[in-house]
């Protein structure tokens, strides 16, 4: 099996799970069949660029995010999935809102250290 396809599939699976989506729901959003999504996640499909675009659209991520292989391992633990979810949540925020989010996170971290 092609390592590139396995890595790509692991990223798709990790992003899908981080968003709480089933394979069926992702398939619906991407206009694909759910068995195809499963095959992609297992590294069994050699995808076309148009299919990669559909998957990115279904996951609401930039195509480039599907190729960040070092972030997602097959055995990604829960903290990695939560980090991916947080990144997705803040990705489209404007600068002012990001500054607010940053202050909130810093305050939470400060409070957690004082316990």
Indicate whether this model's pTM tops 0.75.
no
State yes or no: pLDDT of 104 exceeds 90.
yes
Which residues have a Cβ under 8 Å from the Cβ of 87 and sit 6 or more positions away?
none
The model's confidence at residue 75, banded by pLDDT at 50, 70 and 90, is very low
**Beta carbons of 6 and 45 less than 8 angstroms apart:** no
Domains of the chain: 3-113 (1.10.260.40)
Crossing angle for the helix pair 3-18 and 78-90, nearest 10 degrees?
70
Query: Per residue in 14-65, pLDDT tens?
Result: 899 989 999 999 999 999 999 999 999 999 999 999 999 999 999 999 999 9
**Beta carbons of 84 and 18 less than 8 angstroms apart:** yes
d(CA 9, CA 42): 6
More confident residue, 52 or 74: 52
State yes or no: pLDDT of 81 exceeds 70.
no
Distance (Å) of CA 96 to CA 80, 92, 103: 26, 12, 11
């Amino acid at each position: 099996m092609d390592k590139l396809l396995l890595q790509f599939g692991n990223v798709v699976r990790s992003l899908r799970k981080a968003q709480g989506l089933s394979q069926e729901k992702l398939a619906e959003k991407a206009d694909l069949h759910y068995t195809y999504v499963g095959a992609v996640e297992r590294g069994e499909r050699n995808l076309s660029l148009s299919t990669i675009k559909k998957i990115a659209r279904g996951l609401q991520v930039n195509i480039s995010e599907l190729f960040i292989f070092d972030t997602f391992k097959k055995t990604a633990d829960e903290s990695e999935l939560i980090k991916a979810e947080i990144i997705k949540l803040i990705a489209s925020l404007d600068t002012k809102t990001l500054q607010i989010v940053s202050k909130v996170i810093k305050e939470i971290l400060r409070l957690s250290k004082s316990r």
